[in-house]
Structure 1
Amino acid sequence: MKQWVFSSVLTAGVALGSGPLMSQTVHAETLRAVTDPSFVPFEMLDRESGKMVGFDMDILAEVADRAGFDYKLNTMDFNGIIPAIQTGNADIALAGITITDAREKIVDFSDPYYDSGLRLLVRSDEQDIHTIEDLEGKKVGSKIGSTSADFLNQKLGDKADITPYPGSADMYMALMSGSVDAVFYDAPNVGYFSQTKGQGRTQVVGPLYEGQQYGIALVNGSPWRDKVNDALAAMKADGTYDKIYTKWFGKAPE
Structure 2
Amino acid sequence: MKKWSGIAILFVLVMSVLAACGATGKDGNEKSGSSDTKTLKIATSADYPPFEYVDTAVSDEIIGFDIDLATMIAKELGYELEIEDMDFNGLIPALQAKSIDFVIAGMDGNNEERKKVIDFSEPYFTATNLVITMKDKNIASADDLNGKTIGAQTASVQEKGAKSLEEQYGYTVESRDRVPDLFQEIRSGHLDAIVVADVVANGYIEANPDLASFELPEEHKLGLSIAFQKDSALTAEFDRVLKELQDQGEVDKLVVKWFSN
What's the TM-score once normalised by structure 1's chain length? Answer: 0.83
**Deviation (angstroms), 1:104:** 1.0
- Give the 5 Å matches for 1:1-254: 27-47=36-56, 48-99=58-109, 100-131=111-142, 133-157=143-167, 159-196=170-207, 199-206=208-215, 209-250=219-260
- Write the letter of the residue equivalent to 2:210: R
Deviations along 1:131-188, whole A, 9 cap, x unmatched? 2x43220011111111111122221149323210110000100011211111112221
CA distance in structure 1 between the partners assigned to 2:45 and 2:74 by the alignment:
18
Per the TM alignment, residue 127 of structure 1 is displaced from its structure 2 partner at its CA by 2.0
The amino acid that maps onto 1:250 is S
Provide the rounded CA distance (Å) in 2 between the counterparts of 1:191 and 1:84: 30
Report the Cα distance in structure 1 between the residues aligned to 2:35 and 2:226, rounded to whole angstroms: 22
The 1-side partners of 2:216 and 2:153 are apart by 19
For the 8 Å contact 2:48–2:200, the answer to whether it is kept is yes
Gaps of 5+ in 2: 1-33
Q: Which amino acid aligns with 1:146?
A: S
Tell me the CA shift for residue 79 of structure 1.
0.5
Segments of 4+ moved more than 3 angstroms: 25-28
Task: Give ranges in structure 1 of 5+ residues lacking alignment.
Answer: 1-24
Distance 1:77 1:189 in 2: 17
For the pair shown, which has the larger CA radius of gyration, 1 or 2? 2
Name the residue aligned to 1:18.
none
For the 8 Å contact 1:176–1:201, the answer to whether it is kept is no
Supply the distance in 2 between the matched residues of 1:76 and 1:168 (Cα, whole angstroms): 13
Q: Percent identity?
A: 25
What is the number of equivalent residue pairs in this alignment?
224
Letter of the 1:240 counterpart:
E
